[in-house]
Amino acid sequence: MERGYRSVAIDGPAGAGKSTMAKRLAGALNFLYVDTGAIYRTVGLAAFQSGTAPGDRAGVSALLPGLDIGLAHGADGLQHMSLNGADVTEEIRRHEISAYASGVSALPEVRAFLLERQRALARTHDVIMDGRDIGTVVLPRADVKIFLTAAPEARARRRYEELLARGQSADYPAVLRDLLERDERDSSRAAAPLRQAEDAVLVDTTGLSLEESFSLLLETVRGRLGA
Ligand code: DC
């Protein structure tokens, strides 16, 4: 059986710091960082642009065959996304696209459409992949599984500051409310809901600084990889 590439799965709710941590871990370990949320966001953006409601199962399914979703890792290690030839790396981060991404990601057709693509990356690279169902569905045999979480208020505060840093207007109570709604939707859906894999290590970063979180994660991942 072919083996050789290693994989680290990081799952958890919105705003837990998955992408920040996964990006840094990937740099430290020289693994490819794969942000699967960005792929769902690109499908969400496609629904938004076409005026299709994210919960419109038939409408969103009909869009899928026509979507040209590009994923490229630049020399900077960053994951750039394109939709039908246009670079949408920045646009998919818009606040209203989060709800669209969460909505379309609940549709089994969308998950099936993206599953093989995610697995293919792990067959050809050492990967650190973050998302909601990486340890449970996409890479059930990942070498290391982390479930990264933090209290909702801490996660909402980080998201709020992230939006401000990007120059977007933001309102903390609204960010917290949207985050709780999204957690609920991502966790309660029937198709690949957000949940901790049985063999995942739980890391709660509520009281930890970025540096403390990173050190803890790097130690955990290195220990498990034997690296
Ligand atoms: O990680 P994120 O906030 O960029 O993800 C956007 C949405 O995509 C999130 O609300 C749920 C969905 N998602 C998913 O269902 N499965 C994944 N593996 C990654 C993201």
Q: How far is the CA of 59 from the centre of ligand 1 (A)?
A: 20
Q: What sign has the CA pseudo-torsion 99, 136, 32, 2?
A: negative
pLDDT band, very low/low/confident/very high, at 3 (cuts 50, 70, 90): low
Tokens of 97: 């696209």
Which residue's C-alpha comes closest to atom 20 of ligand 1?
Answer: 37
Q: How far is the CA of 29 from the centre of ligand 1 (A)?
A: 24
What architecture is the 7-225 domain classified under in CATH? 3-Layer(aba) Sandwich (3.40)
pLDDT value, residue 1: 40
Mean pLDDT for 53-70 is 97
Q: How far is the CA of 12 from the centre of ligand 1 (A)?
A: 9
Best CA proximity match to 21, nearest among 225, 212, 226, 224 = 212
Q: How far is the CA of 1 from the centre of ligand 1 (A)?
A: 31
pLDDT over threshold 50, residue 62? yes
pTM: 0.92
Ligand 1 neighbourhood includes 189 CB (under 6 angstroms)? no
Report the amino acid identity of residue 80.
H
In the chain, domain spans: 7-225
Mean pLDDT for 20-46 is 96
Q: What values do phi and psi take at 118, rounded to 5?
A: -70, -45
Substitution site in 39, 105, 118 for ligand 1 pocket (most atoms within 8 Å of beta carbon): 105
Exposure string over 23-52, b if 16+ CB within 10 A, otherwise e: bbbbeebebbbbbbbbbbbbbbbbbbbeeb
